Amino acid sequence: DAIVNAANEHLQHGGGVAWAISKKGGATIQRESDDWVRKHGPVPHALPAWTSGGLLPAKYVIHAVGPVWGDTHDVGTSGDEDGQLSDAVTGSLKVADELQCKSISMPAISTGIFGFPKDRAAGIIFSSIEKYFAKNQNSGVTQVRIVLFDQATIDSFMKQWVE
């Protein structure tokens, strides 16, 4: 029903997963993203934006803003990248529930151009998903897929999964 886009706070889908989703989904996704930012302002970690899926087979794209690893110089940034990543994952699941999605697919948020260490991100993402469903036992989301693209990321996530 929904896929998660690893986005920046201005929803400018110029690189990485965001670029690939925007390209495949067509101009509608960027147009709706621009409209969202005009209406709501920059997207915070804990409150992902969402758009239609455009030309994608998904109904929705949930635009989660993960942290930039080591980026603590921005005003209002606490340096809590772990918490910000957890917020992005939890927020994505909450939006999926609000949109009445049964399934959601998400990438390894922040591990690409944002530089978050893959092993660390895997543990946080798995833990955040587990905690969300422990607190939201009546969630309508019945399937969460983690979509990984390269062997190093797959290895990191598999290592965390078995621990």
Task: Summarize pLDDT for 64-120 with one digit per residue, the tens.
Answer: 999 999 865 454 445 689 999 999 999 999 999 999 999 999 999 999 989 999 999
Q: What is the dihedral of CA 107, 91, 114, 74, to 10 degrees?
A: 170
Whole-model pTM: value is 0.93
In whole angstroms, give the CA distance from residue 24 to residue 78.
35
pLDDT of 12 above 90: yes
Contact between 122 and 116 (Cβ < 8 Å): no
Q: Using pLDDT thresholds of 50, 70 and 90, give the confidence band for residue 45.
A: very high
Q: Sign of dihedral through CA atoms 15, 6, 141, 148?
A: positive
Predicted local confidence at residue 74, as pLDDT: 52
Angle at 112 (CA atoms; ends 108, 118), nearest 5 degrees: 55
Predicted local confidence at residue 75, as pLDDT: 46
Q: Using pLDDT thresholds of 50, 70 and 90, give the confidence band for residue 17.
A: confident
CATH of domain 2-162: 3.40.220.10
Give per-residue pLDDT as tens, 122-158.
999 999 999 999 999 999 999 999 999 999 999 999 9
